[in-house]
Structure 1
Amino acid sequence: MTGPDALRRENGIVLDAVQALLGLISSDVIAVAVLVEAHRVELTFWVRGRTPEIEEDVDQAVFELDALFSEEHPLIESRIHVGHPDPTMLGSYGRMIYWAK
């Protein structure tokens, strides 16, 4: 899928990801990005430290995003990085949907 349909799909998934994150962004989260591919969506979290609470929130975000899709949808994966996103790599992360001040 290319062109306007792909962009419309990506925009929809990004909006759903933002909705899925509501209430799950703690002060330990530095940034969140969404990478949308044909058969896969990746949520990437940058955090101050990896804790059971962070892992639970990430799992909950994946669950919430999954619930927002109708019947057939892409695989949803997540990654957690300790530290800040590399500014030189921003394009490879997909769309940044949250970045703490």
Structure 2
Amino acid sequence: MIDSHGHQRENEITLFAVQALLGLISDDVIAVGVRVEEERVELVFWAHRHSSELEDDAEEATFELDALFSGDHPLIEYAIKMGEPDPKSLGSAGRMIYWAKIRDGRRDSDE
């Protein structure tokens, strides 16, 4: 069970992750989650297809998230997965922070 300090830390990191993603959600992204662990934070991108744009956006979001921390902070990494996400795959330490709208029977991040 996470104590109140753990929840506060998870909330803060989740907010940082949302800030880091601003303007970086490409059309192929279906969803983004953040997994917060003691020594590690992972951004997880689910997409329709893998592309260089997606890879660049994931790298930039990781860089931006890292820049929001000061002093010692956890390792920040990302993972890219294909297809529809299973939110349970993030485990108890994870949160979904973006999920594309469904248009014409398909999730679409165009707004």
Which category of TM-score, normalised to the shorter sequence, fits these structures?
over 0.9
* Larger relative helix fraction: 1
For structure 1, list consecutive stretches of 5 or more residues without a partner in the other structure.
none
Counterpart mapping for 1:14-93 below 5 A: 14-86=14-86, 89-90=88-89, 92=91
Structure showing greater radius of gyration is 2
Superposition TM-score, scaled by structure 1 size = 0.92
Structure 1 stretches of 4+ moved >4 Å: none
**Cα distance between partner residues in 1 of 2:13 and 2:52:** 26
User: Alpha carbon RMSD of aligned pairs, Å?
Assistant: 1.4
SS in 1 for 2:38: coil
**Cα distance between partner residues in 2 of 1:26 and 1:35:** 20
For structure 2, list consecutive stretches of 5 or more residues without a partner in the other structure.
102-111
**Cα distance between partner residues in 2 of 1:41 and 1:60:** 15
Superposition TM-score, scaled by structure 2 size = 0.84
**Cα distance between partner residues in 1 of 2:90 and 2:73:** 24
1:32-66 superposed Cα distances (whole Å, 9 cap, x missing partner): 00010110001100011100110000000000000
Gap change, CA 1:91 and 1:62, over 3 Å in 2: closer
**Cα distance between partner residues in 2 of 1:9 and 1:41:** 11
Q: Which amino acid in 1 is paired with 2:39?
A: H
**Cα distance between partner residues in 1 of 2:27 and 2:55:** 14
Shift of 1:91: 5.2
Shift of 1:71: 1.2
